[in-house]
A and B are shown apart, each in its own frame.
Chain A
Amino acid sequence: MSQHNGSLNSLRLKTGLAEMLKGGVIMDVTTAEQALIAEKAGAAAVMALERVPAQIRAEGGVARMASPKKIREIMDAVSIPVMAKCRIGHFAEAQILEELGVDYVDESEVLTPADESHHVDKHAFQVPFVCGARNLGEALRRIAEGAAMIRTKGEAGTGDVVHAVKHIRQIVQEMKILTVLGEDELYAKAKELAAPYELVKLVATQGKLPVPNFSAGGIATPADASLVMQLGAEAVFVGSGIFMGKRTSCMQCQEGRHAYDDGCAFAPPAEADRRARAIVRATTHYKDPKVLLEVSSDVPTAMKGLAIAALDEAQMLQTRGW
């Protein structure tokens, strides 16, 4: 087999798994118990984390790759794919995650970046990568580096869907524009997008990204999931929206003991289970208001959340990465 065929087949296998996740929900989990709730509720995959984004936001400090022991516990608990996050540019964390055998690596702005100018060279890995993007140029730069799936960034850990909407609209609109441009205009557009011409040309011809395009960052309710799916997302990541309770920080939770009362950072398991099932059904039936009404009626509460408009620029996670 030629070298070219080898790398092409590697990309086909990487995007192939993303194809299998389409129309599904990928849920952030921090324990094996949560992973089981997610799987039973119908999650297509889980993202194994030390802390969900809302906790990272509340507790501060440097956010790093989750401990391999924790990820391993989650991998052992469920039969669905398990993803894990590495810091932007931290290829050593990515190497560890690949060796561990996770099914997807998310090079994520939710963690504290490890490199101020370089992302991970994702072609160098056999494990597939997903990366965040706010616009088409950013998406195509990540794909050029080898990302096999793009997720719009939104603003993680807020439960405010406004930037998830902004970013999916932005990317979809920029792709539409490419399809009507002339050959000669595409060169200038590639320069403006700061993305490789070949990828710009590909999007102009096909009208969509060459890899699956999912949505993330602030999706907290069944209606939110339906909204981003109707806007063109092919699947959704739900981070803090399933398992977060009324508060974002709790001493007991930090020690791994969850009271699941009003003072707890985590929602009671039965409550998380109801939210998870509702979001899964809403993602499948995203165009069916009858089902959306039914599932929305099943979930009495959602995470409290944080309005993005009230955040300072410095508190934004989405500006990490370039």
Chain B
Amino acid sequence: MRIGVLALQGDFDAHRQRLEELGAAVVLVKKVEELDSLDGLVIPGGESSTFLRLLGESGLKKLHEFVRMKPTFGTCAGAILLAREVEDPRQAGLGAIDMVIRRNAYGRQIDSSIRQGLFRGSPIEMVFIRAPKIERLGPSVEVLAKEGNDPVVVRQGKAMAATFHPELSGDSRIHQEFLELVANRTIS
């Protein structure tokens, strides 16, 4: 199973480490042409505006095609990229998940926090850093984890998103969930 981690900017190396611990072969992706050989892709945390600038129009188009064909998992900035609509400020989204997401919704760095939430009903640590919030979800989006009343891990078809950073916690359940999604899609 070859998993790409989009490595334009951000904490792509933390994702690489986690995925390798779980036995995946990881490719750091700096150019969209490298997407063709992958079974799945992780879009890491970082600055979503930086990702968009570095992708450019043609890169975004290519990524748009990829997320409709192969499993993709975005955390924080990655989740923002996967959304249908982005607020504060408005910017392009890939539309892989039918959700409206708001950037920096908790506030600035001083409002970043480590919280306990529920993932498939079990407690899990969640590291929120200048995190976005999912404001609205479409009917076909499944909620996999919540923090309080807020959906924080969601899935629609092949696309999965977390508003926090599972790659910065010791718990590997959420990455495991994504690898299972990739494995199921690759077989079928």
Contacts and interface: CB of A to CB of B under 8 A. Distances in A.
A44 B46 contact: yes
Interface stretch (B3-11, B62-70, B176-184): B3-11
A81 to B, nearest CB: 7
A17 interface: yes
Interface in B147-178: 165, 168
Which of A23, A101, A283 has the most chain B CB atoms inside 10 A of its CB?
A23
Given A13-B127, A128-B109, A80 B53 contact: no
B170 to A, nearest CB: 11
Contacts of B12: 22-23
B10 A23 contact: yes
Contacts of A101: 107-108, 110
A39 B11 contact: no
B36 interface: no
A interface bracket (residues with beta carbon within 8 Å of B): 35 or more
Given A17-B130, A19-B11, A42-B54, A79 B49 contact: yes
Interface string B42-71: 000111011001100000000000000000
Contacts of B129: 13, 16-17, 20
Given A17-B130, A24-B46, A284-B54, A127 B110 contact: yes
A191 interface: no
B109 A17 contact: yes
A33 interface: no
Nearest to A99: B110
Contacts of A277: 53
A44 B14 contact: no
B18 interface: no
A105 to B, nearest CB: 10
Interface in A45-92: 45, 75, 79-81
B147 to A, nearest CB: 15
B44 to A, nearest CB: 9
B110 A16 contact: no
A123 B9 CA distance: 28
Interface in A14-37: 16-17, 19-24
Given A40-B53, A42-B49, A79-B49, A24 B10 contact: yes
A47 to B, nearest CB: 14
Interface string B1-25: 0000001111111100000000000
A19 B168 contact: yes
Interface string A248-281: 0000000000000000000000000000010011
B112 interface: yes
A23 B46 CA distance: 9
B168 A23 contact: no
A81 B45 contact: no
A40 to B, nearest CB: 7
Nearest to A23: B9
B133 interface: no
A21 to B, nearest CB: 8
B9 A126 contact: no
B7 A23 contact: yes
B89 interface: yes
A285 interface: yes
B54 A281 contact: yes
A40 B91 CA distance: 12
Contact of A280 (B54, B76, B88, B107): B54
Interface in A101-154: 101-104, 126-128
A147 to B, nearest CB: 15
B114 A20 contact: no
Contact of B14 (A19, A127, A128, A281): A19
B49 A126 contact: no
29 contacts: A13-B129, A16-B168, A17-B130, A19-B45, A20-B10, A20-B45, A20-B76, A20-B130, A21-B46, A22-B10, A22-B11, A22-B13, A23-B46, A39-B49, A40-B53, A45-B47, A79-B89, A79-B103, A80-B50, A81-B109, A101-B107, A101-B108, A101-B110, A103-B109, A103-B130, A128-B109, A280-B53, A280-B54, A284-B9
Interface of A: 9, 12-13, 16-17, 19-24, 39-45, 75, 79-81, 98, 101-104, 126-128, 277, 280-281, 283-285, 288
Given A24-B47, A45-B47, A127-B109, 7 more contacts: A9-B114, A13-B127, A19-B10, A20-B129, A41-B53, A79-B103, A281-B54
Nearest 10 pairs of A and B residues by beta carbon = A42-B53, A103-B109, A19-B11, A23-B9, A24-B9, A42-B50, A16-B129, A9-B114, A44-B47, A13-B112
